[in-house]
Structure 1
């Protein structure tokens, strides 16, 4: 296990797959990172030198929003909807589906997990 960008990554995985384990990085962005660093996508995480790993962390920190920032901005947007008393804000408060889904047969998990965004 390798601890990179506040995430434990498996050494045995290929680099572009291991990068996807970081919250906020997906398939496209992990391939972009590999191309920018000049590292083959077939290389394993344990085959990367410490210098390349340092360059990787610098590149990701400068160019991409990661877990804390994404979660913070999402919570901020939901709190804004609640504050302005919009319909979507009420749906968030009540723990119901927000985007117009029906509730008769579906959304059982959404109705069970009630978290308040006050």
Structure 2
């Protein structure tokens, strides 16, 4: 089993796809890493030998910020925006869309499930 950056890569996937299971590595970076190490993108993870896994691990850990470090960096960037009180920071704090999307109709993912509001009761005489 190949373990890179603290992530167990799925054994039956191609190397190109398996690398994308690491947070911070998408399809483009996976191709870059495989080109640097000289590993074929079509090789299955289970078919990689120890030297290939070691080469992949070394490139990923030395050249890229992935997993915990990247998550921490993103969290600190968002916290900085909230601390200095930017519009983006206030939107993060309020749990609303940050990048200018409308909220009157959509934004269910950020705002949460719909909450029903009870109708106004009529006063009894």
Q: TM-score range by the shorter chain?
A: 0.7 to 0.9
Deviation sequence 1:84-104 (CA, Å, 0-9, x none): 111111111111111111101
- 2:104 maps to 104
Structure 1 residue runs of 5 or longer lacking an equivalent are: 114-118
What CA distance in whole angstroms lies between the structure 1 residues aligned with 2:38 and 2:2?
21
What CA distance in whole angstroms lies between the structure 2 residues aligned with 1:98 and 1:66?
24
- Give the 3-state SS of the residue equivalent to 1:13 in structure 2: coil
Number of equivalenced pairs: 113
The alignment's C-alpha RMSD in Å is 1.5
- Give the 3-state SS of the residue equivalent to 1:104 in structure 2: coil
What CA distance in whole angstroms lies between the structure 2 residues aligned with 1:88 and 1:36?
37
TM-score, length basis structure 1: 0.88
- 2:5 maps to 5
- 2:67 maps to 67
**Structure 1 residue runs of 4 or more that deviate by more than 3 Å after TM superposition:** none
What CA distance in whole angstroms lies between the structure 2 residues aligned with 1:81 and 1:53?
38
- Give the 3-state SS of the residue equivalent to 1:75 in structure 2: helix
Mapping for residues 1-118 of structure 1, pairs under 5 Å: 2-112=2-112
TM-score, length basis structure 2: 0.83
What CA distance in whole angstroms lies between the structure 2 residues aligned with 1:81 and 1:36?
36
